[in-house]
Amino acid sequence: MSYDISALRKFVSPEIVFGAGSRKAVANFASNFGARHVFLVSDPGVEKAGWVAEIVDILVSAGIRVTLFTGVSPNPKVDEVMAGAELYRSNECDVIVAIGGGSPMDCAKGIGIVSAHGRSILEFEGVDTVTSPSPPMILIPTTAGTSADVSQFAIISDPDRRFKFSIISKAVVPDVALIDPEVTETMDAYLTACTGVDALVHAIEAYVSTGSGPLTDTNALEAIRLINRNLEPLVRNTADAHLREQVMLASMQAGLAFSNAILGAVHAMSHSLGGFLDLPHGLCNALLLEHVVAYNYTAAEDRFRRVAEAMDIDTRGMSKPVIKHRLMERIIALKGAVGLEAKLAKLGVTTSDIPYLSGFALQDPCILTNPRKSSRRDVEVVYAEAL
């Protein structure tokens, strides 16, 4: 009997431990995987904040050796992944732990793939290219936004092509995500805003994606609702533990939604931008968001109405154009309230860069699940509007 695979929906998730202090379970989980020598991936900022030393202490106290790899840059590069994998191999490590934002977590995922296959990370670009399981992996996110700790995505920068490529595979979902709102205490207001808007974009893109469905919709809508209500007050008062927890919960739900429903044109276009200019991912998304929503609106009007309602807009009695207008207004107001108002031109993008950026955006797998089919010309026009 035949069946239409495009109509089926799946849901993949790591084992998740959510709540203040969950990071402290890292040694228990590592021990459960039989860890004798953990490879710990992080970046200089997280190390400086003291979180790396704490994780090392917890692991060493449990009798587990640790090799540190903390040189990961923002937007992790191919050569960093390859250097990490070589260190993992030569030190005979057996479990990978990463603590940090999207960059250390994506780098750790890349190191896992290279360790399992013994080949360049460049060979794993695309969907379902990973054939061997990675070593056991425990991820501890320190930002509430990227959700690499729950997702099937790893994004790696290839400086030779000035391009960020996506690896999308069940094999890069970690075994365990220890999601601990306490570790986001050290994020400043700007990083809180960038990563929080990234999570909002994840939720909106997942909800209107052609891969959306009942398994992801509730997570996506709840994430939109939580970010809409809690991100602005959190950016004003980053010390508020309750708000941190709410935005972390939103980020996790947005992550579960987009990992399984995939994303859309905002991410395709922002991956291209981030690879070209090495810019923060959340900022790239924020600058593109309302322009892509405007482009996509007519292709998913009912879905965008639900997005507007999740953003506390009472749509009863409103015509479709009015709902669109109010939704755009709310998105722009939220971005402004958290301090993300720049235009692409301010970041150094020029009109002459647009054809190059558009070419790479059209090669990104996220473009395939955008609710409206996008030609090269369409993508060029949206970039031009965000300039």
Contact residues toward Fe ion (CB under 5 A) are 198
Give me the least distance between CB of 164 and Fe ion, in Å please.
11
Give me the least distance between CB of 60 and Fe ion, in Å please.
34
Question: d(Cα 139, Cα 21) in Å, to the nearest integer?
Answer: 14
> Which residue in 97, 105, 132, 106 sits closest to 118, CA to CA?
132
Give me the least distance between CB of 198 and Fe ion, in Å please.
4
User: Which residue minimizes CB distance to Fe ion?
Assistant: 198
CB 66 within 8 A of CB 38: yes
Task: Give the residue carrying structure tokens 């495009």.
Answer: 6
DSSP 8-state secondary structure symbol assigned to residue 124: G
The nearer residue to Fe ion, 100 or 136, going by C-beta atoms, is 100
Question: d(Cα 52, Cα 44) in Å, to the nearest integer?
Answer: 9
Give me the least distance between CB of 134 and Fe ion, in Å please.
21
The nearer residue to Fe ion, 42 or 285, going by C-beta atoms, is 285
Q: Give the total residue count for the chain.
A: 387
The nearer residue to Fe ion, 99 or 206, going by C-beta atoms, is 206
First to last CA, the chain: 51
The nearer residue to Fe ion, 151 or 169, going by C-beta atoms, is 151
Give me the least distance between CB of 262 and Fe ion, in Å please.
12
CB-based burial of residue 118 (10 Å sphere; 0-12 exposed, 13-18 middle, 19+ buried)? exposed
Measured on CA atoms in the order 122, 282, 367, 359, is the torsion positive or negative?
Answer: negative
The nearer residue to Fe ion, 198 or 245, going by C-beta atoms, is 198
